[in-house]
Amino acid sequence: MGFLRKRKFLIAGATLGAVLVGTGSIYAAVGGDPFGTSLVGRQSNGSVLTDVNQLVTPAGKQLEFGGNPISVAVRPDGKTAVVLNGRNDYGGNGLNIVDLATGKLIDTNFSLNLSHMWGLTYSPDGNTLYATGSSGSTGKIVVMSVAGDGTPTVKNTISLPAASVGGNINPLDITNGPGGKTLLVALNRDNSLGVIDAGTGQLTARIPVGNAPTSVQVVGNTAYVTNQGGRKAQAGDTTVDSSGTPVVASNEGATTTGTVSVVDLTTNTVTKTIPVGVQPERMTVSGRYLFVTNTNSDTVSVIDTDSNSVVQTIEIKPYPNAPKGSAPNAIKMINDDQLVVSLGRDNALAVYRWNGPSKEPQLEGLVPTAWFPVDIQSDPANKRLLVANADGVGSLGPTRTSTIQGITATGHSSYAQEGSLSLVPFMSTKDLVQGTEQVYADNNWFGLKNLNAKPRQHQKPVAMPERIGEPSTIKHVFYIIKENRTYDQVLGDLGRGNGDPALTQFGQTVTPNLHKLADTFPLLDNFYTSGIQSASGHQWVMQGTNTDYEDKETDTGNVRSYPGGAGDSMAYAPTGHLWDDALKHNVSVINFGEDTTQFSGPEPFGTWTDWYNDYLKLSGQQQGALHVPVGDYQATSDIPSLNPITYKPFPTFNTSIPDQYRYEIFKQKFDQYVKDNNLPQLTTMWVMDDHTSGTTTGLPTPEAAVADNDLAVGKIVDLISHSPYWKDSVIFVTEDDAQNGLDHVDGHREPAYVISPWVKRGVVDSHYWTVINMVRSIEQILGLPPMNQNDAAAAPMSEIFTDKPDFTPYNFVPNQIPLTTLNGDPNSNQPALAQTTNVTSQTKELARLWTTWSNQYKASLSGKNPKPDIANANMENHDIWYETKGFDKPYPGDTKVLTPAQVAAQPQSKAPSPADND
């Protein structure tokens, strides 16, 4: 594909050369590190630093509002537009209405009484507006009348039936049928195209199409439907489940097909299925050609609607030889020959000159958007594009302030999302040149040549090689994934680094090992996890990216499934996971728990106490038979490539199994590796009891759960550091997300650790880092090439490493909180633990009410089939705050201690919990 090729209206190639990768642009001076010690959030120049190694400097005028916009529609008269939020929490309650003449919002948070939202369309005359979504587990279409000034009024709501696989039918994009007499809606979990009588609101047909239909376009009497899950599986196909449907998948678990169904609307039948790229989404029509964005192939398929065949495939490469990762997800034609494609993962629009399928399209340039663009509409009257940015400016929504014992603290939550709409003027040549420079700078693409230079021969081994493929003194990497705590929640009381003790809930007494590790090894006080919750978080930590599908699932409330540790093929990136990268390059791997979905066996599961007693027996502290012999319960994953390298006796997510048990299982296997001298080069592990079970009766109190996790991590480091492998090992510790707490910098900031003889001891490192830098560091050490655009542009964490090792081993610190302190026990809510200053009948009643609320979710946290994050995060955060801070201390942002019913009434408690559709 030509890159910024010279045309008669473009400026000379010498100037354009400044935007090529690795050239002498003014931005190249950053040397692969444009972020320095900046904190996530709005910068002094107006840009926004995200938690995914990108700056956001959007072109045009920006309209910011709470929530995650997922769709935008322009009224046929061209005077107003509406933007639809994906879910109804943190102010993103429904519609935002824009006056296109003034470019101002005339209404925000217009409620549709929906929990999840997705599709928008106007009737041909513009007097009716339709929006799709769900209320609870029922799919809905909201019908609105539209006044002359563009403001809507809800007329009625159409309820849709359950999907054929059961559960939410999940209506997505919607459009008008021929003549406006019908509505056509992609019934995503039903694998069908719904036909609705626009007059009566009746669903008159469900036309079977491919898997997971997403978007619909009408040409004459024909509807075209993108099937994001691809074709139906056939005998002999490798399949992985996605929300009740088996989809064709690779050994890495990711979907491998994409199709467009051609539907004859006169007979309501599919006349042809057209293979396109992987995970096709939104489309546009120009003349006789249909353009389809393929998010996981980084391509656009051009379909001739006369022959219903693909006549051209446009490769989306925002820079020369770019790997996959742009995630093209929406498309629009302007000025008859300029094809504009939104690149969700690159925060950019790519502008191509297109003159028919027989000619190669020319990439004219890039235009920066806000974070994660997902939809484009044209505003020809004002000569501009409207771009909906699902993540906008990140977690810059409402802050929460509290004063405790005279100390005031302001906290940020990862859920306080602030989306945006960009009003971008049609692009001039100058705009495209400047925009391309800006997109390169924002994504750190100017540093790519140096970051990914070929290895040199005969290099002396160093701890962190300068180039991937050069030798390292480190031969073994341990990658440990923890759960859900912000930096301030754990290390705010450390006494050094950028912490706020007023927000600390699990300080020195609860987490003595995490504190000692932070004091002994580098203190990373500017480190961010890229996921908002587990479903996106586990993808980021293991893939270095997140698919467009899962990002939108997060933004709309995870209606299809909740892959919080695997569980949905469509959430897996085509570029694979870290272990796939290792296996492809002959690097040995063992996995303990990460991305496993089941842990089952023949015996009754038992209680937390049963598993704790098994730990005591395994560690020699107690005699007797185990209630479940080691190996009887086996962990499995839905990802084919992961199962063979997973150590099956190690449990998956389950807070009714203590992390002490996980440690003993790991120790057994590790001791065998030491004996046999065959430790794999990469070890991945999930230890997750710091997730906690809230105040659920019979499970550990939050302090005891976090203390259990702290002790397990301390013991793991102790074990490795006293082994022969310590001399050539590094241990990376991160979390998949930090959703269950507040932080005074940003809700994604987390306590992360790099532990090794080969790192600098006792230093405070305030460099901006994310889990993507951690993934890149693992790749750099093990000689693994980057998987995608994100880790290709990420710098390794070189500055914290040293070539003067200190082999002093680490000695774990015993727990100070009794691990057997269970909710509901007589002593579990004593003031010494609950920190309640005034123990009164009122505070006791509040404790009882919150225990009752938490007990609703016991089945999702314990037993044979636990599921993470079923409880609403805002509710759970209040529960844990009261239990750790006291039932007489208001949660930040509240004026008093609240009952569960009062917290449930808060807008952020309306965020839908993961649907049980997987």
Question: Between residues 25 and 373, which one has the greater pLDDT?
Answer: 373
**pLDDT higher than threshold 70 for residue 918:** no
What percentage of the chain exceeds 70 in pLDDT? 93
Q: Which range, of 57-61, 97-101, 712-716, 871-875, averages the lowest pLDDT?
A: 871-875
SS3 of 800-853: HECCCCCCCCCCCCCCCCCCCCECCCCCCCCHHHHCCCCCCHHHHHHHHHHHHH
Residue 415 has pLDDT above 90, yes or no: no
Question: Is residue 159 within 8 Å of 234, Cβ to Cβ?
Answer: no
pLDDT of 835: 60
Task: List b or e across 525-534, with b for residues whose CB sees 16 or more CB atoms inside 10 angstroms.
Answer: bbbbbbbbbb
Domain definitions of the chain by residue range: 2-159+276-394+408-450, 475-800, 831-910
If 0-12 CB within 10 Å is exposed, 13-18 middle and 19+ buried, where does residue 270 land? Answer: middle
If one compares 889 and 916, the residue with the highest pLDDT of the two is: 889
Q: Mean per-residue pLDDT for 123-127?
A: 97
What does the alpha-carbon distance between residue 68 and residue 87 come to, in Å, rounded to a whole number? Answer: 7
**Phi and psi based region of residue 49 (left: phi greater than 0; alpha: psi -120 to 50; beta: remaining):** beta
The confidence score (pLDDT) of residue 694 equals: 87
Longest dimension (CA), the chain: 85
The pLDDT assigned to 328 comes to: 98
Q: So what's the pLDDT on residue 405?
A: 57
Place 160 in a pLDDT band, splitting at 50, 70 and 90.
Answer: very high
Go through 884-914 and write b for each residue having 16 or more CB atoms within 10 A of its CB, e for each that does not. Answer: bbbbbbbbbbbeebbebeebeebbbbbbbbb
What is the band of 20 on the pLDDT scale with cuts at 50, 70, 90?
very low
Q: Which region among 81-85, 91-95, 648-652, 801-805 has the lowest average model confidence (pLDDT)? A: 91-95
Whether pLDDT at 47 is above 90: yes
Question: In the predicted model, what is the mean pLDDT of the chain?
Answer: 91
Dihedral angle sign, alpha carbons of residues 529, 533, 534, 539: negative
Q: What is the pLDDT of residue 21?
A: 44
Would the pLDDT of 841 be above 90?
A: no
Amino acid at 57: T
pLDDT tens column, 529-557: 999 888 889 999 999 999 999 999 989 88
pLDDT top residue among 843 and 24:
843
| 118 pLDDT above the threshold of 50 | yes
Rounded to 5 degrees, φ, ψ at 513 are -75, -40
3-state secondary structure string across 343-357: EHHHCEEEEEECCCC
Residue 2 has pLDDT above 50, yes or no: no
Residue 631 burial by Cβ neighbours in a 10 Å radius (0-12, 13-18, 19+):
exposed
* pLDDT level of residue 886 (50, 70, 90 thresholds): confident
C-alpha to C-alpha distances, 901 to 284, 879, 888, 910, nearest whole angstrom: 46, 12, 17, 12
Residue-level pLDDT at 3: 35
Residues composing the chain: 918
**Is the dihedral angle over the CA atoms 882, 885, 888, 893 positive or is it negative?**
negative
32 φ/ψ sector (left φ>0, alpha ψ -120 to 50, else beta): left
Confidence of residue 559 (pLDDT cuts 50, 70, 90): very high
- 3-class secondary-structure state, position 291: strand
pLDDT band at 30 (very low <50, low <70, confident <90, very high): very low
Contact predicate 66/419, CB 8 Å: yes
What is the Cα–Cα distance from 145 to 125, expressed in whole angstroms? 11
Over residues 508-523, the pLDDT tens digits come to 999 999 999 999 999 9
Whether residue 861 is predicted with pLDDT greater than 90 in this model: the reply is: no
**pLDDT classification of 868: cutoffs 50, 70, 90:** confident
Q: What is the pLDDT of residue 592?
A: 98
Percent of the chain with pLDDT over 90: 79
How confident is residue 832, by pLDDT bands cut at 50, 70 and 90?
very low
Closest listed residue to residue 868, CA positions, set 767, 748, 735, 749: 735
Between residues 875 and 668, the one the model is more confident about: 668
Q: Closest Cα partner for 65 from 540, 451, 392, 444?
A: 392
Look at the domain 2-159+276-394+408-450 and name its fold.
Methylamine Dehydrogenase; Chain H (2.130.10)
Q: What pTM, to 2 d.p., does this model score?
A: 0.94
Tell me: the pLDDT tens digits for 203-214? 999 999 999 999
pLDDT level of residue 13 (50, 70, 90 thresholds) = very low
pLDDT per position as a tens digit, 377-406: 999 999 999 999 999 998 887 777 766 556
Report helix, strand or coil for 448.
helix
> What pLDDT sits at residue 11?
30
Report whether 895 contacts 735 (CB < 8 A): no
CATH H-level superfamily of 475-800:
Alkaline Phosphatase, subunit A (3.40.720.10)
Q: What average pLDDT score do residues 127-132 get?
A: 98
**pLDDT (tens digit, 9 = 90+) per residue, 563-586?**
888 899 999 999 999 999 999 999
Q: Is 179 helix (H, G, I), strand (E, B) or coil?
A: helix
How far is residue 576 from each of residues 238, 445, 583, measured CA to CA in Å? 16, 22, 11
pLDDT tens, residue by residue, 174-211:
999 999 999 999 999 999 999 999 999 999 999 999 99
Listed range (557-561, 634-638, 911-915) with the worst mean pLDDT: 911-915
Segment 615-632 shows an average pLDDT of 97
pLDDT band at 914 (very low <50, low <70, confident <90, very high): low
pLDDT at 887: 87
